[in-house]
């Protein structure tokens, strides 16, 4: 059990690292910080020739270099907004490592070090303030809060009934249907092995095929039981449940499915998480069954006041009809169901697709 937990933690950490490295904001922050660090220490490193257009800047002294150091606040604030506390601390340490060598070399006086410490402290406090308190949304009025509360209360009642039925069906499948199928499979195995008398080769072959089909059916029912109501969603929330879903579908289908997170992860209302999980589940099932894709990405965006989730694949794509309801007329109910679920959140649902160019599904709503 400990090994399984360790492997799970390692997989989640690896997935987070890959998500950061694929994030364009990470590379923008890295490039800007690197350029500023080289520009700030050009004279100290002997590379002033790299910046002929900024000769006065790289040779600045005293109060001018003090002003130059404030340019590091640009990537620091950017990192605080996108990666929150982790981005703040990582960028601040890089900032500190960039300004200390030149500050010590130019004038290692108490006044100079105090000025450097002041800049570093202001930068850290600003980054922490942005990371912990940044909210681009406006404060809600009392009427808006009451309206949102009433909407969530109504949604919670409806979802409570739906999820109760899902749990009940999942429990029945696990406790009754799977157990019955296991009994039948055991009898088929006994029949195939000759416990009930010797069989002809043809009959034994049929018994073996029946056993194989029963075992496949048991796996399908067990998978259906988990999909109806994964325990991870109840126990630890949306992100771990989506990690479980993407890893399982990736393993079963061979499609490379990544989960990316932008901004600081935080919990959402339970009803909100349930609906988002259902939309992601339907979208990824469509990717596996119909897209012909080799890779897909689920992205959760916590940066803005409106939460956004996108599911993108590199599959064959399709031509969009004028109305999503046209898919339902052809028997393809998945997209219409996703649109209806997004409507329960009072959110926006968008599909972008072209033949040969993959598909992008976007859901945006205010928690």
Each residue of 174-226: pLDDT tens digit?
778 888 888 888 888 887 777 767 777 888 888 888 888 888 888 888 777 76
| Residue that wins the pLDDT comparison between 36 and 260 | 260
Mean pLDDT for 237-253 is 87
Please say if the pLDDT value at position 168 is more than 90: no
| Other beta carbons less than 10 A from residue 116's beta carbon | 20
pLDDT at residue 63, rounded to an integer: 46
- Residues 269-283 have a mean pLDDT of 86
As given in the structure block, the two tokens for residue 357 are 């160019």
What is the percentage of the chain residues whose pLDDT exceeds 90?
Answer: 7
With left for phi above 0 and alpha for psi between -120 and 50, is residue 355 left, alpha or beta? beta
Q: Phi/psi at 60 (nearest 5 deg)?
A: -65, 150
Query: What pLDDT is attached to residue 263?
Result: 79
7 vs 280, higher pLDDT: 280
Centroid of chain to Cα 230: 17
Stronger pLDDT, 116 or 353, i.e. the higher one: 353
Q: What percent of the chain has pLDDT over 70?
A: 69
| Lowest-confidence segment of 50-59, 151-160, 275-284 by average pLDDT | 50-59
pLDDT of residue 133: 66
In this structure, the number of other CB atoms found within 10 A of the CB of residue 121 comes to: 10
- Checking if the pLDDT of 68 tops 70, the result is no
What mean pLDDT, rounded, does the chain reach? 76
Return the structure tokens found at 297: 């990405």
CA distance 162 to 171: 14
User: What average pLDDT does this structure show over 91-100?
Assistant: 81
What is d(CA 299, CA 57) in angstroms, rounded to the nearest whole number?
41
**Residue 298 pLDDT > 90, yes or no?**
yes
> Which carries the bigger pLDDT value, residue 174 or residue 163?
174
pLDDT of residue 299: 92
**Which of 65, 39, 63 minimizes the C-alpha distance to 52?**
39
Q: How confident is the model at residue 55 (pLDDT cuts 50, 70, 90)?
A: low
- Backbone phi, psi, residue 252, to 5°: -75, -35
Least confident of 6-10, 65-69, 338-342, 346-350: 6-10
Count CB-CB contacts under 10 A for residue 74: 13
Q: What is the mean pLDDT of residues 122-144?
A: 67
> Average pLDDT for residues 1-21, to the nearest whole number?
54
355 is written with which tokens?
């033949």
In this predicted structure, the answer to whether residue 311 has a pLDDT above a threshold of 90 is yes
pLDDT of amino acid 257: 92
Query: What pLDDT score was predicted for residue 9?
Result: 46
3-state secondary structure the chain: CHHHHHHHHHHHHHHHHHHHHCCHHHHHHHHHHHHHHHHHCHHHHCCHHHCHHHHHHHCCCCHHHHHHHHHHHHHHHHHHHHHHHHHHHHHHHHHHHHHHHHHHHHCCCHHHHHHHHHHHHHHHHHHHHHHHHCCCCCCCCHHHHHHHHHHHHHHHHHHHHHHHHHHHHHHHHHHHHHHHHHHHHHHHHHHHHCCCCCCCHHHHHHHHHHHHHHHHHHHHHHHHHHHHCCHHHHHCCHHHHHHHHHHHHHHHHCCEEEEEEECCCCCCCHHHHHHHHHHHHHHHHHHHHHHCCCEEEEEEECCCCCEEEEEEECCCCCCCCCCCHHHHHCCCCHHHHHHHHHHHCCCEEEEEECCCCCEEEEEEECC
Q: What is the pLDDT of residue 221?
A: 83
Question: Considering only 98-102, 273-277, 363-367, which range has the smallest mean pLDDT?
Answer: 98-102
Q: Which residue has the tokens 């945006």?
A: 364
Average pLDDT of 160-173?
74
């Amino acid at each position: 059990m400990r090994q399984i937990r360790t492997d799970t933690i390692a997989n989640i950490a690896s997935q987070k690292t890959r998500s950061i490295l694929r994030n364009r904001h990470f590379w923008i922050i890295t490039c800007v910080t690197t350029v500023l660090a080289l520009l700030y220490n050009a004279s100290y490193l002997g590379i002033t020739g790299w910046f002929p257009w900024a000769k006065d800047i790289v040779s600045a002294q005293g109060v001018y270099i003090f002003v130059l150091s404030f340019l590091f606040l640009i990537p620091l604030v950017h990192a605080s907004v996108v990666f929150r506390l982790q981005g703040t601390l990582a960028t601040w340490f890089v900032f500190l490592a960039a300004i200390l060598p030149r500050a010590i070399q130019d004038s290692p006086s108490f006044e100079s070090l105090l000025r450097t410490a002041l800049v570093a402290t202001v930068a850290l406090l600003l980054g922490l303030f942005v990371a912990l308190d940044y909210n681009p949304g406006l404060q809600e009025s009392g009427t808006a809060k009451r309206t949102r509360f009433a909407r969530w209360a109504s949604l919670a009642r409806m979802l409570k009934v739906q999820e109760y039925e899902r749990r009940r069906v999942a429990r029945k499948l696990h406790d009754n249907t799977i157990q019955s199928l296991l009994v039948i499979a055991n009898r088929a195995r006994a029949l195939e092995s000759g416990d009930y008398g010797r069989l002809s080769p043809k009959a034994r072959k049929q018994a073996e095929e029946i056993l194989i089909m029963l075992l496949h059916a048991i796996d399908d029912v067990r998978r259906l039981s988990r999909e109806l109501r994964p325990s991870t969603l109840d126990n630890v929330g949306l992100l771990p449940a989506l990690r479980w879903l993407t890893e399982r579908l990736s393993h079963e289908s061979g499609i490379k499915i990544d989960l990316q997170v932008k901004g600081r992860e935080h919990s959402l209302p339970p009803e909100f998480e349930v609906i988002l999980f259902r939309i992601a589940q339907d979208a990824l099932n469509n990717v596996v069954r119909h897209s012909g894709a080799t890779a897909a990405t689920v992205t959760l965006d916590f940066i803005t006041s409106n939460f956004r989730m996108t599911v993108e694949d590199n599959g064959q794509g399709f031509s969009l009809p004028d109305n999503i309801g046209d898919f339902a007329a052809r028997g393809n109910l998945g997209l219409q169901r996703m649109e209806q679920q997004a409507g329960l959140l009072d959110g926006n649902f968008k599909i972008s697709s072209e033949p040969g160019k993959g598909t992008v599904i976007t859901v945006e709503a205010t928690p």
